[in-house]
Amino acid sequence: MTGVWVFRNGVMQLEEERAAARRRLVYVPANETMASLQALERRLAGLGWERYYEDRATVQLHRRDGGADLISLPRDFAWFRSTHMYDVVLKNRDHFKVVDRLPNPN
């Protein structure tokens, strides 16, 4: 696990896990939240990304135009974290953004 361990009210918590649960990756042109690897790959394919390498745990994408950039994503979208989101945003600045979810009122 990655992140920072924080001790609050007698409980130790991993800060990254909590922060990632509140964030979501949005495809800006369609205002679409990326909820699956397939949806994200479809949007990235439209921007010139294609699969470069894959194994049981990871999918890597590279640009068709021969650029040196790689995006590594977990095959299981439940493991998709803010570090993956920001990697996608950094390499596709005009098309994706990370936003915080609204707090649950319950």
Degrees, nearest 5: CA angle 80-81-87: 95
The per-residue pLDDT for 3 is 62
The per-residue pLDDT for 62 is 95
Calpha distance 85→21 (Å, rounded)? 12
Q: Are 17 and 2 in contact (CB under 8 A)?
A: no
With tokens 């205002």, the residue in question is 31
Name the stretches of the chain with pLDDT < 70: 1-7, 13-21, 102-106
The per-residue pLDDT for 68 is 78
Calpha distance 36→21 (Å, rounded)? 15
